[in-house]
Amino acid sequence: MRREDKKDDASLFQRVVLKNAAPYHYLKVCLVLENESIKPSAVELKQFMITGLKNLFGEVGAALNFDLLKYDEDTLVSLLRVPSRGLVRLWSSLTLLGFYRNQACAFRVLQVSPYLLSLSGNSRELKLD
């Protein structure tokens, strides 16, 4: 193949890289409590998360605009939507929360994705017939 042919082939292809193309990221998290009889409401859970942001990042961190899209009080699993630029701040503040109403607790991040549809299923829990 001649050098001119290689040059023509290279001009046909263009590499496109998108960084942070999605405006939001979605997190599926579970709150694990030492005392399982305590069940926070959706409002209490979001306030607890805001408190974690405030403790770690101050008033500016607490101003992060995230949404609690879905919350199951029985399993304590919630679905959060956060702007992509605030994902690391929210995730780190959830990781460092250790006590809820003087009881040991921990947030477990189950899934993270820039696409909400990808959180609808989990290949680790897939059962084939």
- Residue 49 has, within 13 A of its CA and on its CB side, a CA count of 26
| 21-56 confidence digits (pLDDT tens) | 789 999 999 999 998 888 999 999 999 999 999 999
- Total domains, the chain: 1
| 32 assigned to some structural domain | yes
| 73 assigned to some structural domain | yes
Three-state DSSP class for 71?
strand
pLDDT of residue 20: 58
Mean pLDDT, range 109-125, rounded to an integer: 86
**Contact (Cβ atoms closer than 8 angstroms) between residue 114 and residue 26:** yes
**Contact (Cβ atoms closer than 8 angstroms) between residue 31 and residue 40:** yes
Q: What is the pTM of this model?
A: 0.78
| 40 assigned to some structural domain | yes
**Element at 55 (helix H, strand E):** helix 42-62
| 87 assigned to some structural domain | yes
Burial class (CB in 10 A: 0-12, 13-18, 19+), 27: buried
What CATH number is associated with residue 68? 3.30.70.3250
Mean pLDDT, range 78-84, rounded to an integer: 96
> Which domain covers residue 30, as residue numbers?
24-114
| 122 assigned to some structural domain | no
